Chain A
């Protein structure tokens, strides 16, 4: 038999039992649809993360932190007390260090990572937020996406950029409305000056730190899209202000709660410095250089592997869930094919009598299974795609209202589409093995014996 004959025969045989074929194929459609959906979701999440990393050139980013005093003590056996030890201990993340950094090969620029808590007040609405100091130079480098307005051009301006999600929390729906408006940033600072006597007194009584509140007025120049990625992204606060302006502000430098207590001891220098490298290939050498100097480093390249492991587990889990549907669908195929063979017992006898070999008979039923798989694959893919569109609409409908940017949670790479169809055919053929062997075993003498 020719290949086209097998295909034609399969389709015409399956058409004869329309309802049964439809139901069986529908089982496969649901199975493949579920699997495709699961996979597309896994891949979509992975793509979103990797894409945003790539877009932000986060793989070119290296974070440098001062090793805490405790860490230095704990790790001292690894750092024998040789010459240079003092160098390590006294080295601070200060401006001189920053200038020195830019001279290392592969470093594009380095900037201090300063964040501090502040109360943001805009048009009668108040929100607490961490304010990040972002040098104008970095702001201009095209790393930040603006929804409205643009970046500040000098480090001395009283301007800031704000994320649209914070604005939305403050009931501003249209980003462009905020541009050019005044906004108030109130900082907290530990203040032992005479102006702050009531707070100092309560501090002395053990009732909290002697904070004072200081208000500064800024102009909103740009509204950005907040990146939904955790970790040291370049812009990881909802509000960014220029460096020069920030230096003039009284504030509590804070990147995490421990800084609150560490700050008194380590006042000189920054707690963290961000380094932008010209290419990810410099991550390792620069990292090693800085670690040799006694600093702690952080790079997303290290995290990527971890992230990928998480995604592999996620894929496996989703695959397992999808496979349940596939297994059920295969049982449906086996059932249908066995039924079909029982009904066509005599027909198989006739096939053999007119010269069909066991191989021919096997192939005929194998092709029928394959056709069910093929149809199931095509329509399953379509179903998966439709479901993903619906889920996207629903999630985005809910999420956008809560300030999360509109995004596609599913990804359908070409290999997934092709793979779904191939896999569906493959599974159907596997399911077809047993019925096919049964068909080939039919004894024509018995099948043709007149009743």
Chain B
């Protein structure tokens, strides 16, 4: 494997056990990501896409195998170190946006800065600036319920990259959106990838979107990589 890789995943296995039943969500995944890559991940429901995302995002820990990000094994980090990893290295975007409903757009965007000990004044400045970047400056004081799905997802994207992470992880970001808005959201991710150098991993059912925007697409099935194709 290329040592220049941003992310190196080796023999990654995740087994969930509930009671006596064990479910193998991921089995011996080997994968790598280059800096600045736009990686698409697709596959049927229950193929382990989201599990892979949670492991990459440091929300979950693997049963075996390793994930190395920028030369560090995040699979070996403790709770506190994992929190730091999530805070500074990755930004996550979800299908259901996962915004805090009682917060305004800018408060949602600025939320990660709270844990990064950024002073309030700077939090407001940065959140406003980033909302402007995703075209929501006018909507900064609106709460999620007052925003359309596309707008909510743009707030979520803004929140994901406000801490200037290395990797953006988008778990079906267009799953709840119509095709036009899906296109817009994917375009924003693509822009962040091309213009600002974020490495993007995007899970999607919509293979046409991935075919259009992603550098390459990995297909998962039953917790295994069944296909890896490079676009263009």
Binding site for B on A (CB under 8 A): 1-2, 4-5, 8-9, 16, 346-347, 349-360, 444-445, 448, 450-451
Contact = CB atoms under 8 A, between A and B. Distances in A.
Interface in B75-107: 79-80, 83-84, 86-88, 92, 94-96, 98-100, 102
B80 A448 contact: no
B59 interface: yes
A360 B83 contact: yes
A350 B97 CA distance: 10
B163 interface: yes
Contacts of A445: 54, 59-60
A345 to B, nearest CB: 12
Given A350-B100, A352-B59, A445-B54, A9 B114 contact: yes
A158 B127 CA distance: 93
Contacts, number: 70
B94 A1 contact: no
B112 interface: yes
Contacts of A2: 117, 119
Contact of B86 (A8, A353, A450): A353
B134 interface: no
Nearest to B59: A444
Contacts of B80: 357-359
A450 B96 contact: yes
Interface size, B (range): 20 to 34
Contact of A357 (B79, B92, B117): B79
Given A2-B119, A355-B116, 18 more contacts: A4-B120, A5-B114, A9-B114, A346-B98, A351-B111, A352-B86, A353-B57, A354-B86, A354-B87, A354-B111, A355-B86, A355-B88, A356-B83, A357-B79, A357-B83, A358-B80, A359-B80, A445-B60
B59 A353 contact: yes
Given A355-B83, A360-B83, A448-B59, A350 B96 contact: no
Question: For chain A, what secondary structure do more than half of its interface residues adopt (helix, strand, loop), or is it mixed?
Answer: helix
Contact of B95 (A8, A350, A357, A450): A450
B49 interface: no
A30 to B, nearest CB: 29
Contacts of B87: 354-356
Nearest to A9: B114
A358 B78 CA distance: 11
A354 B100 contact: no
A333 to B, nearest CB: 21
Interface string B44-86: 0000000000100101100000000000000000011001101
Given A349-B98, A350-B98, A448-B98, A355 B60 contact: no
Contacts of B92: 353-354
Given A445-B54, A451-B96, A354 B115 contact: yes
Interface centre among A1, A351, A355 (most CB of B within 10 A): A355
Contacts of A353: 57, 59, 86, 92, 98
Contacts of B57: 353
A347 to B, nearest CB: 5
A400 B111 CA distance: 62
A450 B99 CA distance: 12
Nearest to B82: A357
